[in-house]
Amino acid sequence: MSQDPHDRQSERIQEILVLALVPVLVLVLILASWALAHGEVGPSWVNAGLAVIAVFLGGFLRFWSGVKDLLHARLTTNLFVTIAIAATLAVGEFRSAALIVFIMAVVSGLESFTLDRGRRAIRDLIHLAPAIATVRRGEQEVEVPVAELQVGDVVVVRPGQRIAVDGQVVAGAGAVNEAPITGESMPVEKLPGSEVFSGTLNETGRLEVRTGRVGADTTLAQIVHLVEQAQQAKAPIQTLADRFTTWFLPIVMALAVIGYLLSGDIKVAVSILLVACPCAFSIATPAAVTAGIANMARRAVLIKGGIYFEMAGRIDTLLVDKTGTLTFGRPKVVEIVALQGIGKDEVLLLAAIAEKYSEHPLAKSVMALARDRGLDVPDPDEFKAEVGLGVTASHGGVVLRIGRPEFLEDLGVSVSAKLAGEVAAQAEQGRTSILVARGAEVVGLVAIADEVRPETALAVSALKGLGIRHIAMLTGDNIRVAQAVAGPLGIDDIHAGLLPEDKQRLIKELQAQGRVVAMVGDGINDAPALALADVGIVMGAAGTDVAIEAADVTLMNDDLGRVVEFVQMSRKVLRRNKLNIFLSIVYNAVGLGLATLGLMSPVLAVVFQEAGCVSVVVSSTLLLWAKTAVGVHPGEPPGFRPMGPVINTQLLEKS
């Protein structure tokens, strides 16, 4: 049973309070400490005490991690920060220590919030399948909890209901939306003998399904399991800062010991630790990342953590889902072929009259175009739908038949060899054809396909220009449809007919070859691959909640061109991060030299390292206004230079 919405809202409020409260309290304590000291109010130990409380309140978890890293002989940024903060407190620079802790607490809080939301969404995925199913018992239909279903039970699924089990259709016919499993938007016609999956939506027709798998054995449950496995198996990534700390921390500690031995003055050792204090170093990455995240947020790209900037800068392989990513994920009329000397609008009008009462997704695409063309579509006098085949209607004494060639032929309508060849030619382009018959003759053909997003071709070209040479398309659709979409986009590597586990398997194989893999998708079926990829990117507007939470980056306006900007910004952030660390090294190197020679007091050491902090902050702040070299989408915000005109690869007017 799904969780009550009120309980979900309460959980969300609690998360926000917990994750936001700590940084807020730390900031309040810092401001209070500064105000008391600046106004010379009360004894000095009061303002110092407030700063110390702020340090331990905001940095306890990081300090504890540093202690554990020390016990396990791991040289990490947490250990470096712990040692340096301790040295900073030891010489009385309480507010400086608190400020460092505040910056790190904000970043940690944001990352924890996004990770927890992801775990909750994965847990909730299983609720996509209904909790109650209608089961046929003899001549009666009774509702029973899905948990009580047994293999062999016959489940009745009416139009508009989700299927509760994996099984086989034994009676009835219908069009089923299998997007949660395959990711494909075109409905699949189901007839006796067809396989169906739990969590998919029966859009038209009544189905009777003999249960094959229930509960944890269903395909949907296996997707949940794959996502959880991928998240657990994803190897921890050593950040640039941690790699730097591995050799820098031992050098600093050795210099502190040498300085003490040479001078016999503990202040020399403390000065060395202070001047090497990772104030600039510890905020080098967070400051650059925060500016980069803010910059990308203005472009409707949400990034869950700084490590994904670093990973994106090294991407060499990009896997892209077809439906909902390269395409809009919805059927659309892309061509009308008129016969018997009538116009295309007349063919469309006849098709719309016949399909007006139909609930089939293909019928809805016909009606949508008729509305766009401003056609006045009258009601049919009679209407009858043959699930999975077509419809028969009448208007003004004229019989209209719309559907597949075999459907029309069964009704006595002749389909010429030339017309059959046109249907085959449309199929080669990945399109579904429905024939329009008036009386006993076919007067037209309506071709329907999933429309390619207008910015896709330019985005693929731009990504190749960034050095991502291996771009592959993944889809659960058949190879013919996949080739029709991939060819014009310049994508040569196609993997069709894939299930979620197949996508994961491909990613594992590529990662085993040493490649840095990014995956772009939008559906539940993409979630396992998004979770396993080095960088998972999801289309936020069209994407499912589970895919969004499994991914690392969300494109809120479903614009593939934003992937180009994300990769470019990632490289900018990575370069700025390296520059920041270089600046901190310069300050540290000069300061360490002076401190080791006994030429720098603890107070001067703090001033020196604060100057390093300022330079890093200024350097990072410039990223807020950084521009990408190209853009591949309409509606650029002010200040961003577009790459060029947007090309729509499937204009109906070309038909």
Cα 625 to Cα 610: distance, rounded to the nearest angstrom:
24
Non-local CB neighbours of 637 within 8 Å, separated by 6+ positions = 298, 299
- The question of whether 321 is a catalytic residue gets the answer yes
Q: Point out which residues pair with 145 in neighbouring strands.
A: 132
* 3-state secondary structure (DSSP) of residue 124: helix
Non-local CB neighbours of 146 within 8 Å, separated by 6+ positions = 129, 130, 131, 132, 133, 164, 165, 214, 215
Q: Which of 69, 321, 450, 522 is catalytic?
A: 321
Per-residue 3-state assignment (H helix, E strand, C coil) for 152-185: CCEEEECCCCECCCEEEEEEECEEEECHHHHCCC
* Region for residue 505 given its phi and psi (left: phi exceeds 0; alpha: psi -120 to 50; beta: otherwise): alpha
Q: Where are the beta strands (DSSP E) in 406-564?
A: 432-438, 441-452, 470-474, 493-495, 517-521, 535-539, 553-555
Cα 394 to Cα 388: distance, rounded to the nearest angstrom:
20
Nearest C-alpha neighbor of 461 from the set 490, 436, 437: 490
Q: In the structure encoding, which two tokens stand for residue 475, read together? A: 């889809």
Q: In the structure encoding, which two tokens stand for residue 559, read together? A: 């614009």
Instruction: Give yes or no for a contact between 464 and 190, defined as CB atoms under 8 angstroms apart.
Output: no
Cα 437 to Cα 459: distance, rounded to the nearest angstrom:
41
Cα 316 to Cα 9: distance, rounded to the nearest angstrom:
40
Cα 183 to Cα 524: distance, rounded to the nearest angstrom:
7
Active site residues: 321
